[in-house]
Each structure stands twice: as C-alpha cells, then as structure tokens.
Structure 1
Amino acid sequence: MRFADIVIPDTSAARGALEVATAYCSPALLNHSVRAYLWAAAYGAMNDISFDAELLYVSSMLHDIGLVREFDSHTVPFEEAGGHVAWVFGAGAGWPVERRVRASEVIVRHMWDKVDVAQDPEGHLLELSTGLDVSGRGADDFPAGLRAEVLERYPRLGLGEEFIACFRDQAERKPDSLAGVFVRAGVAERIRANPLDH
C-alpha cells in the first residue's frame, strides 16, 4: 500500500468538508483530519473492509470540529457537537436524513474504545485511524513507507501538545465526557509517546 493507492473522493460534499475544516481548524488539526481519512482508507483497503469513501471523508474532516472555538459546546462533549455540525453540513449538501445521521454516528463513535466493523465500517475505521494518529495505537499495522509518505505530505505540526491542551480544556469544563475520562486515564503520556512523533 502506497499513498497513490488511497482513494480520495472528489465530490462536492467531500470538497465542501475539506473547505470547512480548512477554514476553522488549526493547521495541526487540519492535517490530523486529513491523516485520519488517509489512515482509515488505507487500513480499509489493506484489510478488505468495504466502506463509503465520501461518508468516511466528510466524517474525518469534521470529526474534531467540536474542539474549535466557533463550534465548541458548553453542554455536550466535543464529539457530539461535531456530530451535530456534520448533520447540518449534510443537510446543506442535500444528503437524505439517514446519511446525515450516519455521519453524526461515525463522528460520535470515533471516541469509543471499539466500533464493530460489521455494524459500522466507517465508524470502525475512523476510531482506528484517530487512535493511530493521536496516540500511535496500531502504527505497526501500516507499512513504514506509507507512514513516512503520509507524514511528509501532512506533517504533524505539534499536534500532540495541541491535542493535550484541547482534551484538558474539555475535561475541565465537561468532566463526565469521554475526553475527561481519557485525561484522567493518562492520555497525555500516551500522546507524548506516539511513535509517529519520534
């Protein structure tokens, strides 16, 4: 598997989601969102997991939008806020309600410990890819050449420390959220030990 083998959807919804992420995310968070899709799509292809590329791409671009100031919610965890943004985005893109709900589900589930691939292949792939990109979980499942090429094209730009700060902020304001659970479980140490940063 090489970078050139990864299928990137070229639809109006995919282009729009990238435009939204580019407008609102920091450079590090934007590159993380792109890498989340690339790792997910590559893993799906390498493991014969059928997935909806457009749905996965849009969900990847918007999965952390709830961390940015303009979309941060004081009432719900950031992944739920991001799911709501995806639902609204899908409405603007002309998606049927069922597809909007699916994008929201994929984004909410990326914070789960595990997502059943048979029930939700896109959620499974995004949960896996974000775990890889944030803390390095499963890095050895990807060829070294692919890892190097993705990181060269979309560098990390200090993502680790930015993410730690975001999660600590979420945990302080929303202690019952999964971000709060992760902070109390020592996520900062796992992020700082990410092999993608070393």
Structure 2
Amino acid sequence: MIDTLRSGTSINGIVVPDSSLGRAITEFIRDTESELLFNHSSRVYFFGALAGQQRELIFNPELLYAAAMFHDIGLMPSHSSETLRFEVDGANAARDFLKSHDVDPSDIEKVWTGIALHTTPGVPEFMHPVIALTTAGVEMDVLGLTYDQYPDTVREAVVAAFPRTPHFKEDIIQAFYDGIRHKPDTTFGNVKADVIADKEPHFHKGNFCSIIRTSRWST
C-alpha cells in the first residue's frame, strides 16, 4: 500500500492532511481497523474530496478525513456497543478522539453527523459539505453510484494507492455483517437490515407499519 503521508501522493490535488491531527487519525485507524476497512475508508476520503471538487464545495479536509476514516470504526469489536447503531458507535468514537485533540465542538458535530448519517440516503447531500461528502465517498466506493463521474485515471489512482481486495464486494458485505450480527435490532429502518437478511435467510426485518398497528393506541 502506498503510504500517502510519506510519499506525498496527490490525486487531482487531493492529499491526506499532513498535519498533527491528520497523522494522528491515520495512526489510530491503521492500528484499530482491519486493512480492508482502512483502505476502504481512505478511498472514501479521496472519492468524497474529489466529489467536493466536482461540486465546487468548500470544505475542511481534516474534518472530511476524520469523518471518512472513522465512519466504519463502529464495526470493530473494540468500538462496538451492544445496543447502538454501528454508525452512532463510530460517530461517538470520532467525537471522543477529536475532543482529545481540542477540535472545536461545532466541527466535531459536523464529523459526528457525517458518520451517523452515512447510511441514510437522500438526506446528507443537502447538509454541510463534510456531511454530504462523507456519504458521497461511501456511495461511490461501496455502491458505485457515481462511478461514471470519475475519470478512469482518477479511479485507478485511488485504488492503486488503497487497493480493493480481489473480492471486495463480498468482503465488505461480510465485514458489515460481522460488525452488526450481534445487534440486528439496530438495523431497523436502515440499509444494514439488508445485510442481516442476506446472511440470515430466516431473519425478519422490523416493519414500520406493523409497529404502528400494534401500538398501545386504540385508533
């Protein structure tokens, strides 16, 4: 893997923030996450930042880097709670980390929200650029929703720096499942319920209409 901090790798002018905070984030995530998730999160940052260029958005690279790198840390056993959505676990971990580095509370809130909403389509794109671009990076690297909006040379450069595994599509689904399988109820109303259903054919998703109909209200 290319170490962007040492080599100064630039993709369309986008680089990993070479600051004390940027280096601390890289070190923490590299030591905490699997290589699969570290590379994925790094690509999310680059694709998100590149989307920001395309959309002519003004954003703080350090904050986007923090959101991108922490967005899946809630899948790791060391940062996974028993009852919270993994997105919230990740957002909380980022908040604690950024607090320890004296980041402004309003900036921490942007990172927290970007992570918490990164699996909620249709909302983040209308919010602050850090929030919108975190989701944009995720949707590109996992779902390929904007695949054709990136030139071949740019896509290839990102993947060369932070490789996808030979079977990344199945590997990332498995990583999602491994990180949430112990708390399937937290997937109610979000896309990760599809992951549980894919791996557990007898799993029954919570149903919004059924909850309404079986509530304590008489009418």
TM-score, normalization: structure 2? 0.77
Does the 8 Å CA contact 1:35/1:133 hold for their aligned counterparts?
yes
Consecutive aligned runs of 4 or more in structure 1 exceeding 4 Å deviation: 184-187
Over the aligned positions, Cα root-mean-square deviation in angstroms equals 2.1
Residue 160 (structure 1) aligned with residue 160 (structure 2): no
How many residues matched? 186
The corresponding residue for 1:173 is: 183
Residue 11 (structure 1) aligned with residue 19 (structure 2): yes
2:92, 2:183 → 1: CA distance?
Answer: 19
Could you tell me which amino acid in structure 1 is paired with residue 194 of structure 2?
F
1:171, 1:125 → 2: CA distance?
Answer: 28
The corresponding residue for 2:149 is: 141
Larger deviation, residues 46-55 vs 84-93? 46-55
The corresponding residue for 2:28 is: 20
1:185, 1:46 → 2: CA distance?
Answer: 36
CA 1:172–1:74: 2 relative to 1, 3 Å: closer
Does the 8 Å CA contact 2:177/2:196 hold for their aligned counterparts?
no
2:149, 2:63 → 1: CA distance?
Answer: 23
The corresponding residue for 1:82 is: 90
2:38, 2:157 → 1: CA distance?
Answer: 17
Does the 8 Å CA contact 1:114/1:127 hold for their aligned counterparts?
no
Could you tell me which amino acid in structure 1 is paired with residue 91 of structure 2?
G
Q: Any unmatched runs of 5+ in structure 2?
A: 1-9, 200-219
2:137, 2:62 → 1: CA distance?
Answer: 16
Does the 8 Å CA contact 1:77/1:174 hold for their aligned counterparts?
no
CA 1:167–1:175: 2 relative to 1, 3 Å: farther
Could you tell me which amino acid in structure 1 is paired with residue 88 of structure 2?
E
CA 1:23–1:86: 2 relative to 1, 3 Å: same
The Cα of 1:156 is off from its aligned counterpart by 0.8
The structure number with the bigger radius of gyration is 2
Does the 8 Å CA contact 1:33/1:64 hold for their aligned counterparts?
yes
Does the 8 Å CA contact 2:125/2:135 hold for their aligned counterparts?
no
Q: Any unmatched runs of 5+ in structure 1?
A: 188-198
The corresponding residue for 1:191 is: none
CA 1:50–1:87: 2 relative to 1, 3 Å: same
Residue 97 (structure 1) aligned with residue 105 (structure 2): yes
The Cα of 1:114 is off from its aligned counterpart by 2.4
Does the 8 Å CA contact 2:82/2:182 hold for their aligned counterparts?
no
Does the 8 Å CA contact 1:82/1:108 hold for their aligned counterparts?
yes
1:64, 1:104 → 2: CA distance?
Answer: 12
1:16, 1:59 → 2: CA distance?
Answer: 14
Give a deviation string over 1:3-44, Cα, whole Å, max 9, x none: 142143222111111111100111111000110000011111
Does the 8 Å CA contact 2:12/2:154 hold for their aligned counterparts?
no
Summarize the alignment of residues 91-130 of structure 1 with structure 2, pairs less than 5 Å apart.
91-130=99-138
Could you tell me which amino acid in structure 1 is paired with residue 183 of structure 2?
R
